[in-house]
Amino acid sequence: MQALRQAPIFAPMPYITHLPQRGVISVRGADRVAFLNGLVSNDVARAEPGQAVWAALLTPQGRYLVDFFILADDGVLLLDTPLDSVPGLLARLNRFKLRAAVELADASAQYFVYATWAGVPPPIPVTAPDPRLPEAGFRSLSETEMKTNVSPADYAAHRLALGLPDGPPDLEPDKTLLMEAGFDELGGIAWDKGCYMGQELTARTKYRGLVRRRLVPVALDGPAPPYGTAILADGVEVGTLRSAAGSLALASLRLDALDKPLFAGTARLSPKIPVWMALEPRPDATQLQNGA
């Protein structure tokens, strides 16, 4: 009997786009891991070739300053971060360097930042799965320009459907708390690592249940209002609109307003809580007074 020939297996064609709004900072030197670990919310030691880490730098008061993906490549850590944040982040990191064996540089001109999803990414050496959700896809840093087949707006719609923030304008420097923005559920905080700047408030927010609002995806019925538009429920402001793409947006909303009719401008908003998001019951005033 003639052996059956196995049909070739074709990998699905992924969506891939260049993210021109992203920049890169390189961190070299023997102390690169220990240096960053003492500053950011996640365990930098977990970043290795093929495995990225998502982390944030906070103020001493525990407020968000900037977030980034940490990718590793042959003795260097590469921070994939909003391009507009590169100068400020670089300046802050240099202030903390002191005598650490660390070299910091703006590598934005050296790397193109790409996002890939719904398929296997191209064979780029500096590539790792997006550590937040498997559905999010992959992050790649390439020294050469690659062919793309979708736009940054398509990626925005993809991440908004998953409820994933993308730095400012979704996250507000000096204001946002990590627990409000899903950093806990999305693996952006290492609770078992040593101290880092802003750790005390982050831990207190989690263990005392002090979260009053969350960043949640919403469907828009009507024209997308501008960023920062107030969201109203029963005529009372209960949140603000963040980034939007088509009929999707992220919104910073009070938890006690999620079940109410919501409006921003002329658009009606419908929260679409993703399965990964854990919305814990809001503690009442008696619990807070008793220190619960």
The string of pLDDT tens digits covering residues 143-156 is 999 999 999 999 99
- Residue 278 pLDDT grade (very low, low, confident, very high; cuts 50, 70, 90): confident
- Residue 292 pLDDT grade (very low, low, confident, very high; cuts 50, 70, 90): very low
- Specify whether 127 is located in the same domain as 249: no
Burial-class residue 291 by CB neighbours within 10 Å (0-12, 13-18, 19+): exposed
Q: Which of 141, 162, 183 is the last residue of a domain?
A: 162
- Residue 214 pLDDT grade (very low, low, confident, very high; cuts 50, 70, 90): very high
What's the mean pLDDT when you consider all of the chain?
A: 91
Residue 147 sits in a domain whose CATH number is 3.30.1360.120
- Specify whether 280 is located in the same domain as 153: no
Residue whose C-alpha is closest to residue 118's, from 134, 105, 104, 99:
134
- Token pair listed for 271: 């929260």
Task: Say yes or no to pLDDT of 33 above 90.
Answer: yes
Residue 201: inside a domain, yes or no? no
Cα-Cα-Cα-Cα torsion 160, 87, 41, 187, nearest 10 degrees, comes to: 30
What confidence score (pLDDT) does residue 257 get?
Answer: 95
Residue 257: inside a domain, yes or no? yes
Tell me the pLDDT tens digit for each residue of 74-132. 999 999 999 999 999 999 999 999 889 999 999 999 999 999 999 989 899 999 999 99
- Specify whether 227 is located in the same domain as 113: no
What confidence score (pLDDT) does residue 210 get?
Answer: 78
Q: How many domains does the chain have?
A: 2
Residue 3: inside a domain, yes or no? no
- Specify whether 54 is located in the same domain as 137: yes
Residue 26: inside a domain, yes or no? yes
Residue 187: inside a domain, yes or no? no
Q: Which of 162, 184, 216 is the last residue of a domain?
A: 162
Strands 15-18 and 64-73: unpaired
- Specify whether 23 is located in the same domain as 98: yes
Residue 193: inside a domain, yes or no? no
- Specify whether 154 is located in the same domain as 87: yes
Cα 56 from Cα 241, distance rounded (Å): 22
Residue 186: inside a domain, yes or no? no
Q: Which of 126, 145, 162 is the last residue of a domain?
A: 162
What confidence score (pLDDT) does residue 3 get?
Answer: 42
Task: Say yes or no to pLDDT of 5 above 80.
Answer: no
- Residue 280 pLDDT grade (very low, low, confident, very high; cuts 50, 70, 90): low
Task: Say yes or no to pLDDT of 137 above 50.
Answer: yes
- Specify whether 19 is located in the same domain as 151: yes
Task: Say yes or no to pLDDT of 281 above 60.
Answer: no
Give the domain extent around 272: 208-292
Task: Say yes or no to pLDDT of 290 above 70.
Answer: no
Task: Say yes or no to pLDDT of 6 above 80.
Answer: no
- Specify whether 44 is located in the same domain as 112: yes
- Specify whether 35 is located in the same domain as 133: yes
- Specify whether 20 is located in the same domain as 147: yes
For range 135-140, the mean pLDDT: 97
**DSSP SS3 for 88:** helix
Task: Say yes or no to pLDDT of 13 above 90.
Answer: no
- Specify whether 150 is located in the same domain as 57: yes
Residue 271 sits in a domain whose CATH number is 2.40.30.110
